[in-house]
Amino acid sequence: MEKSKRQHSKKIGLTTKIILGLVLGIICGFLLQEHQSIATDYIKPFGTIFLNLIKTIVVPLVIFSITQGIISLKDIKKVGSIGAKTIMFYVCTTAFAVAFGLLVANTLNVGGSYVLNSSTLQSYDSAVNKVSLMDTFVNIFPSNFVEPLLNATMLQVIVIAIFFGFGIIKAGEKGKVVANFVESMSEVCIKIMEMIIALSPIGVFALITPVVATNGIAILLPLLRLIGIAYFASILHIIVIYSGTVKLFAGMSPRKFFKGMSPAMLFAFSSASSIGSLPFNLECTEKLGADKEVASFVLPLGATINMDGTAIYQGVCAIFIAQIFGIDLGFGQQLMIILTATLASIGTAGVPGSGVIMLAMVLQSVGLPLEGIALVQGIDRILDMARTTVNVTGDAACTICVDASEKRKLRKRAAVASLEN
């Protein structure tokens, strides 16, 4: 009890420190507008170090925590049942998120009346490699054990982890040694992540300062509409979809859910990394009553494949780019965006800035100019903070719902068994 109280106050301390880092970073950025090189040459490198540390731990953290999650479920049927529900929840909410992003961006006319000069349009398209949907699917499966780990190809890493988990379960007693190793490594990786997280106030400060110093508020103004609309759609999605699902499928009051989730949401907002937020998310969902074995499977999977915020962002940006380049998108093209953005968000790694890379795939699928990416890149950090918060909250909502449904199933089984006796 005493210990958990102490831990709690430590977490609150860190959250406050992160906010402080953010605010100080913004102030510092403003002050350094005339001396941008100080911000980019001396402050930004610390942000890069922080991000590199997160990227370093991503692969071991995901592989060991997903394998461990599968092993702790003990039987393959149970993994199948939880896995199917999880994937269903993730895919449905993500497809809805893109559609919602498109709807909001179209209705609120995200590009405004601003249309880029047509000469800017010249150089796009032909240089772009077209990636087919089928290739994207085939690429989920690795042809080699080591390469995906080296290149941090996250979907392939997940496939490896799943096969490993199943292999260990099937090996039974003989797999025990590996199972113990995985369990211990997963603990160690979480501890390493916690150490990196402890550095996040400095990391957040060092990341935000150069953004404000180099962009300034003036350059943000034309893009403020995009930011406003992306934030609006994200907040609405969080309120409607996650309140709705936790209430409907788990009978949990949205108030309780958001209150319990606030440390993880705040951390997601300031770190812009779903993977980095994983330890916070595990703790928050467990405090909300989710079983550890469910959370440790659903959350790491979500941190790598479930990105509703990224999907909203891709929908909103696609419409923004189409509008400012004066291109009309038909209904069929918008459907195509829903399909590719759902896939793209699944392939987006849960680290800062990766959503913008996958945006290229979405733009390509409907022939939108890739130059558009350069426009939104400048404000990516600000957009990333909102989309990561949605991503992380979505993972937690799914955990709460799947956990409740598994518990319902167990209760039903117990009731049937007691009737039979």
Query: What residues make contact with ligand ASP under the rule CB under 6 A?
Result: 272-274, 307, 310, 348, 350-355, 384, 387-388, 391
Joined together, the tokens standing for residue 411 give 């209760």
CB of 261 to ligand ASP, least distance (A): 15
Q: Among residues 234 and 296, whose Cβ is nearest to ligand ASP?
A: 234
Least spacing, CB of residue 363 vs ligand ASP, in Å: 15
49 C-beta neighbours (distance < 10 Å), count: 14
CB of 310 to ligand ASP, least distance (A): 4
Q: Which CB atom, from 200 or from 391, has the smaller least distance to ligand ASP?
A: 391
To the nearest whole angstrom, how small is the minimum distance from the Cβ of residue 415 to ligand ASP? 40
Task: Give the Cα separation of 384 and 370 in Å (integer).
Answer: 19
- Which is nearer to ligand ASP, 67 or 274 (by Cβ)? 274
Considering beta carbons, is residue 72 or 314 the nearer one to ligand ASP? 314
Q: Which residue, among 60, 78, 74, has the nearest Cα to 161 in the 3D structure?
A: 60
User: Minimum distance from CB of 406 to ligand ASP (Å)?
Assistant: 25
Q: Using the minimum distance from each CB to ligand ASP, give the nearer residue, 295 or 356.
A: 356
User: Is the Cβ–Cβ distance between 246 and 363 less than 8 Å?
Assistant: no
Side chain identity at 226, as an amino acid letter?
Answer: L
Q: Which is nearer to ligand ASP, 165 or 302 (CB)?
A: 302
Min dist CB 388 to ligand ASP, Å, is: 4
- State which residue, 384 or 403, has the beta carbon closest to ligand ASP: 384
Closest contact distance (angstroms) between CB of 333 and ligand ASP is 22
Closest approach, Cβ 348 to ligand ASP, in A, equals 5
For residue 329, is it left (φ>0), alpha (ψ between -120 and 50) or beta? beta
Q: Which is nearer to ligand ASP, 55 or 247 (CB)?
A: 55
Nearest residue (beta carbon) to ligand ASP: 355
